[in-house]
Amino acid sequence: MRRILLLPLLAAFACQQPAPLDKCITPRPQQVETLGGVLNLERPLHLATEVPEAEAAMLAGYLTATDLPLADPLSADDRARLPELRLAYSDDASLPVSEEGYRLTVSRRGVEILSRGDAGLFYGLQTLLQLHDHYGQALPCVRITDAPRFPYRGLHLDVSRHFFDKEFVKKQLRMMARLKLNRFHWHLTDGAGWRIEIDRYPLLTEVAAWRHGSTWQAWRDGGYRYARHDDPEATGGYYTKAEIREVVALADSLHITVIPEIEMPAHSEEVLAVYPALSCSGRPYTTGDFCIGNEATFEFLENVLTEVMELFPSKWIHIGGDEASKTGWTSCPKCRERMRHEGLTTVDQLQSYAIHRISDFLAQHGRRLIGWDEILDGGLAPDAVVMSWRGEEGGRKAAAAGHDVVMTPGSHCYFDGYQDNPTTEPQAFSGYLPLRKVYAYDPAPETMPGHERIQGVQANLWTEYIPTPQQAEYMLYPRLFALAEVAWSDPARMDYTDFHRRALDLTARARRAGYNAFDLTNEQGERLESLGEVDHLARGCRVDYATPWSDRYPAAGVATLTDGIRGSWSYNTRWQGFLESDVEVTIDLGQNRELHEVTADFIQWFSAWVWLPKQVEIALSDDGREFRTIATLRNDYPEHAERPEFRAFGWQGADRGRYVRYRAIHNGRPGGWLFTDEIIVR
């Protein structure tokens, strides 16, 4: 049974210019049939429900918080004179099979929404309310038959790196309901802070939820130190159990399941700072990995999960499972003994042992484990669900093997990346993910083996560089509008031009409703240099590499630097990467030529360990043996600057030569990259 919790959001989306039927509905419905005529809502609708009493009360309570004109309770004679809003369950064979599907019919006599389940009635109301937003008191007569493509349509929010209070979370749930999203993945624990009250372990909220440093960067630069809650310099926070119950109740009323995430066996620095005996070293501030050989580790995790399951009715419980260093396990006597006793030969198998054991524990309580795709390493627990983030490979592998999968690859679903020009946008993490790219994603193409095991798709908002609620909304919207359509709509009916027009309208409405959405009307778009090819003297010429490019970022291989194609805002596209290495190449122009320019672009992207060169040296030669330096250029952009920078290093003047040697000197940082896209010679 759902509690009656009201949703005031939609009333704020005031009627604007009318739009053609399905052109004003997001996500786009599957089937729209125009019936002709108009339903006049100058007379209010009287509500008639043919559903169980509790559901009827929930729907009625929900509708009172919208601006849809509804009549007060009336006599039978009065009701007969008013148009009807009929909400009813039905097993009509013509209805979508999914209980989230619905059929909405608007006629001159009133409105009817039929569905096989209460979620479908709720989503039918969302469509009706969008029609009312656009058409006001004159609703077009129409029949809309609709159902979601995927059962899992999610949003992930990281509240560990930066804490956002319950009201912010509830506000995003309301927008999720409008977009017909139905899974809220709440990333409650990570090294940057523990965010959920656990009665049995009070230090988790007395210390591990607090830190020195008002932002994640300040905490990082200060040595990743935690603080007591009563320290005057402490920042952070956590949700009380009462607050979590309040959020879960609201989500339930909006047909959203809240999936909690409790990180293990890694990303647990905050836990091991206050309970260091659960680490392999037994000392705080030494690792983020639990000791898998220590039985006390499983006692702790099971106790925590028991309290978590008391708060969250979700069938799925997320345990993270990603990015364990595993280094301490190899030398830990307890872990080695565990491996010997269980017949394990690798640390991947040791992690798999931990995942299987937690999966069994959750199964005993009627729950199901879901984790990031690293849970595949060493062998996957039979009933576990894989959330694929390291590209699509893990998800494809799991789906082909018969496991349920949620797709959330960083390439299309990580909303902590820039959505516009990285040099002018607010600080973000890495990557460039514009609206168009989100919309283009297909989580389960029919040619993919096991595509039927893809449960859905999820947007992930990680918050290392997102310290405020305002910036979080800026990063979410309108990209979440696009992912909602990817999750719900038939790919055959999706069209970016049509969606972009709807996104402009929906973004404007969201901003008026108090959401700090990115202003799509001012989008600059892709890096201009990447939109067309550049012609120059070196195009198509031979390039000899004195330093090799990295196989991880080869671009077009040996042709990259003279093929006339420039890189985009994403460094993993047409940019060629050099790891811990200079870039030294020689271009043969084929003959001695008069030269006036030699230039190449480089990137600094601090969070991705990509830096501008320390220095650039440009030299010319007539014979390819004796070179004369014509330019030495030093970089003045600070190495610690975290804002991305795209900068040209070049020479202009007058000289002659056949061979051009271009050398960009690495700044010496271990693990650092140089990226360049084209050496232009004129």
Percent of the chain clearing pLDDT 70 (strictly above)? 96
pLDDT > 90? residue 14? no
- Catalytic-role residue among 99, 243, 252, 323: 323
Task: Establish whether 639 is a catalytic residue.
Answer: no
- Among the candidates 522, 549, 570, a domain finishes at 522
Residues 676 and 587 in one domain: yes
Q: In angstroms, rounded to a whole number, what is the distance separating the alpha carbons of residues 195 and 503?
A: 33
Mean pLDDT of 593-597: 98
Residues 517 and 496 in one domain: yes
Residues 577 and 485 in one domain: no
The partner residues of 529 in beta bridges, in order of sequence, read: none
* Cis status, amide bond into 83, omega within 30 of 0: no
Q: Phi/psi at 669 (nearest 5 deg)?
A: -70, 125
Residues 72 and 182 in one domain: no
Residues 401 and 419 in one domain: yes
- CATH code, domain with 637: 2.60.120.260
Using pLDDT thresholds of 50, 70 and 90, give the confidence band for residue 390. Answer: very high
Q: In angstroms, rounded to a whole number, what is the distance separating the alpha carbons of residues 290 and 350?
A: 12
- Among the candidates 522, 538, 554, a domain finishes at 522
Task: Establish whether 267 is a catalytic residue.
Answer: yes
Residues 554 and 506 in one domain: no
Residues 600 and 478 in one domain: no
Task: Establish whether 197 is a catalytic residue.
Answer: no
- CATH code, domain with 102: 3.30.379.10
Q: What is the pLDDT of residues 640-657, one digit of tens each?
A: 999 999 999 999 999 999
Name which of 16-25, 477-486, 629-638 the model is least confident about. Answer: 16-25
Q: In angstroms, rounded to a whole number, what is the distance separating the alpha carbons of residues 361 and 297?
A: 14
Q: Among residues 575, 577, 574, 638, which one has the least CA distance to residue 606?
A: 638
- Among the candidates 79, 113, 146, a domain finishes at 146
Average pLDDT, the chain: 94
DSSP label at 160? S
Using pLDDT thresholds of 50, 70 and 90, give the confidence band for residue 41. Answer: very high
Query: What is the structure's pLDDT at 318?
Result: 98
- Catalytic-role residue among 146, 190, 373, 464: 190
User: Is there a domain that residue 288 lies in?
Assistant: no
Query: What is the structure's pLDDT at 20?
Result: 67
- Catalytic-role residue among 134, 156, 162, 267: 267
Residue 391, classed as helix, strand or coil, is coil
Domain, as residue range, for 657: 528-681
Burial of 424 (0-12, 13-18, 19+ CB in 10 A): exposed
User: Is there a domain that residue 4 lies in?
Assistant: no
User: Is there a domain that residue 178 lies in?
Assistant: yes
Query: What is the structure's pLDDT at 19?
Result: 57
Number of domains in the chain: 3
The partner residues of 619 in beta bridges, in order of sequence, read: 629, 661
Residues 139 and 228 in one domain: no
Percent of the chain clearing pLDDT 90 (strictly above)? 93
Query: What is the structure's pLDDT at 488?
Result: 98
Q: What is the pLDDT of residues 392-416, one digit of tens each?
A: 999 999 999 999 999 999 999 999 9
What phi-psi label fits residue 445: left (phi over 0), alpha (psi between -120 and 50 degrees) or beta? beta
Using pLDDT thresholds of 50, 70 and 90, give the confidence band for residue 18. Answer: low
Full-model pTM: 0.94
